Structure 1
């Protein structure tokens, strides 16, 4: 029987981290089904959903634990495969935010979403140099699930108002499946 394991690993960035970790997973007959990996400051962070046969699980966990001696922080947690039934019938939207970088943008946008009962599926954020001037631009891309009672025009109007208060552009579009 297959088990689903979420693995989170962070450590000092260096060449070969992904190779080392995926080699351990492969050696224990595991399969990375989904992942997010990024260098954040001087650290490298990995978040992976791994499928592994139940009889290989102990070996995989022991091998992953050996990475701690190399200075990595590691956590593992069991989960179940598939999308939660909780969001069946909900609207799936893509939200993009862009504007002058300042404190509180992520909080204010996600706070408003939470107040509306919207669930975040994923968020990617970053900064980039503005085309003109020395200013940094904040960029956020989010995928969310909105309850059936919340229409796109209503959510769009509300997020545009939040965007005006934050001095950022907010665009929202339905995700077609």
Structure 2
């Protein structure tokens, strides 16, 4: 019977990290299904979902955890079979604001109040145009709960964005 494992990885960034994990997964008969990984501040971090025959999952987990001896920390977060199909409409959110503390807190508060799930989020602070002020940018793929009108969510986001002088664009 197939088992689905989800784990996180974090290590000092260096060549060959993904190859080491992929080699272990393939070597134990696992199938790399999906992942999201990035280099942030000199660290390499990611989350990976794989499928493997249940008979081999203990061996796979042991081999992945043995990577800690090389400074590659693996944390198993789930061992559920399969995945639930997402419910509700999808939407995409783009936000740009002059950088200041609390932007993400304020926007995610609105999302949480409306029952919206964040499926993917990327943020960065960049240098602004001519003046060089720091700009906070966020891009998110969202899953709206069944019954939430995207226009209602957009209105709530625009109200919060106005309070912090941010430009928010919700695309459904």
TM-score after normalising by structure 1: 0.89
Offset at residue 116 of structure 1 (A): 1.5
Indicate the residue corresponding to 2:32 in structure 1.
32
User: Residues 29-68 of structure 1, C-alpha deviation per residue, up to 9 Å, x if partnerless?
Assistant: 1111110000111211021001111122122111101111
1:127, 1:28 → 2: CA distance? 40
What are the within-5 Å matches in structure 2 for residues 100-119 of structure 1?
100-119=98-117
- Structure 1 segments (4+ residues) deviating >6 Å: none
1:107, 1:69 → 2: CA distance? 36
Indicate the residue corresponding to 1:93 in structure 2.
91
Contact 2:2 2:81 in 1 (8 A): no
1:61, 1:106 → 2: CA distance? 34
Offset at residue 72 of structure 1 (A): 2.3
1:136, 1:25 → 2: CA distance? 41
Contact 2:161 2:168 in 1 (8 A): yes
CA distance 1:83–1:124, shift in 2 (3 Å) = farther
How many positions carry a matched residue from both structures? 171
Offset at residue 119 of structure 1 (A): 2.0
What are the within-5 Å matches in structure 2 for residues 70-85 of structure 1?
70-76=70-76, 77-84=78-85
Contact 2:99 2:135 in 1 (8 A): yes
2:168, 2:81 → 1: CA distance? 33
Secondary structure at the aligned position of 2:79 is classed as: strand
Indicate the residue corresponding to 2:10 in structure 1.
10
Q: Is 1:151 equivalent to 2:149 in the alignment?
A: yes
Secondary structure at the aligned position of 1:7 is classed as: strand
Which runs of 5 or more structure 1 residues have no equivalent in the other structure?
none
Q: Is 1:131 equivalent to 2:126 in the alignment?
A: no
Indicate the residue corresponding to 2:69 in structure 1.
69
TM-score after normalising by structure 2: 0.91
Offset at residue 159 of structure 1 (A): 0.6
2:120, 2:168 → 1: CA distance? 16
Comparing 145-154 with 67-76, which one deviates more in the overlay? 145-154
Offset at residue 169 of structure 1 (A): 0.8
2:139, 2:169 → 1: CA distance? 10
Offset at residue 166 of structure 1 (A): 1.8
* RMSD, aligned CA: 1.5
